[in-house]
Amino acid sequence: MIISHKLKVIHIRLKKVAGSSFEMALARYCGADDILTPIKGGKKSNYHRARNYEAFKIKSRIGHLGA
Protein backbone atom coordinates (compact mmCIF):
# COMPACT_ATOMS: atom_id res chain seq x y z
CA MET A 1 0.00 0.00 0.00
CA ILE A 2 1.15 3.51 -0.72
CA ILE A 3 -0.35 6.70 0.67
CA SER A 4 1.34 9.61 -1.06
CA HIS A 5 0.53 13.13 0.05
CA LYS A 6 3.05 14.46 -2.44
CA LEU A 7 1.32 12.76 -5.39
CA LYS A 8 -2.20 12.81 -3.87
CA VAL A 9 -2.53 9.03 -4.39
CA ILE A 10 -3.71 6.08 -2.29
CA HIS A 11 -2.71 2.77 -3.89
CA ILE A 12 -3.90 -0.55 -2.45
CA ARG A 13 -2.20 -3.51 -4.08
CA LEU A 14 -4.37 -6.46 -5.16
CA LYS A 15 -3.17 -9.91 -6.19
CA LYS A 16 -2.55 -10.82 -9.84
CA VAL A 17 -3.21 -7.39 -11.38
CA ALA A 18 0.36 -6.04 -11.72
CA GLY A 19 -0.04 -4.20 -8.41
CA SER A 20 3.54 -4.91 -7.31
CA SER A 21 4.96 -3.54 -10.56
CA PHE A 22 2.83 -0.42 -10.29
CA GLU A 23 3.79 0.01 -6.63
CA MET A 24 7.51 -0.33 -7.46
CA ALA A 25 7.22 2.33 -10.16
CA LEU A 26 5.15 4.67 -7.98
CA ALA A 27 7.48 4.31 -4.97
CA ARG A 28 10.29 6.04 -6.87
CA TYR A 29 8.32 9.29 -6.90
CA CYS A 30 7.06 9.28 -3.30
CA GLY A 31 8.24 11.84 -0.80
CA ALA A 32 9.90 11.28 2.57
CA ASP A 33 6.61 11.72 4.47
CA ASP A 34 4.63 9.31 2.29
CA ILE A 35 3.58 5.90 3.62
CA LEU A 36 4.85 2.73 1.91
CA THR A 37 4.26 -0.79 3.19
CA PRO A 38 6.84 -3.50 2.44
CA ILE A 39 6.42 -5.67 -0.64
CA LYS A 40 6.66 -9.40 0.13
CA GLY A 41 7.65 -12.15 -2.28
CA GLY A 42 9.50 -11.90 -5.57
CA LYS A 43 13.14 -10.89 -5.91
CA LYS A 44 14.66 -9.08 -2.97
CA SER A 45 16.25 -6.57 -5.36
CA ASN A 46 12.74 -5.46 -6.38
CA TYR A 47 11.65 -4.49 -2.86
CA HIS A 48 11.16 -0.87 -1.96
CA ARG A 49 12.02 0.28 1.53
CA ALA A 50 9.01 0.46 3.84
CA ARG A 51 8.41 3.85 5.43
CA ASN A 52 5.99 4.96 8.13
CA TYR A 53 3.49 2.14 7.78
CA GLU A 54 2.35 1.55 11.37
CA ALA A 55 -1.46 1.57 11.59
CA PHE A 56 -1.59 4.38 14.13
CA LYS A 57 0.50 6.59 11.87
CA ILE A 58 -1.73 5.88 8.88
CA LYS A 59 -4.84 6.71 10.90
CA SER A 60 -3.30 9.92 12.21
CA ARG A 61 -2.48 11.03 8.65
CA ILE A 62 -5.73 10.18 6.87
CA GLY A 63 -8.15 10.19 9.80
CA HIS A 64 -11.01 7.79 10.43
CA LEU A 65 -12.56 6.28 7.30
CA GLY A 66 -16.07 5.06 7.90
CA ALA A 67 -19.71 5.58 7.16
> Mind giving me the DSSP string for 38-50?
PP-SS-GGGPPPP
pLDDT reported for residue 66: 55
Q: Is residue 67 part of a domain?
A: no
Q: Is residue 17 part of a domain?
A: yes
The 3-class secondary structure across 14-25, one letter per residue, is CCCCCHHHHHHH
Domain that holds residue 14: 2-62
Q: How many CB atoms lie within 10 A of CB 2?
A: 22
pTM over 0.75: no
For 3-55, write each residue's pLDDT tens digit. Answer: 888 888 887 777 777 777 788 888 888 888 888 877 666 555 555 555 555 66
pLDDT at 67 over 60: no
Q: Is residue 7 part of a domain?
A: yes
pLDDT reported for residue 32: 83
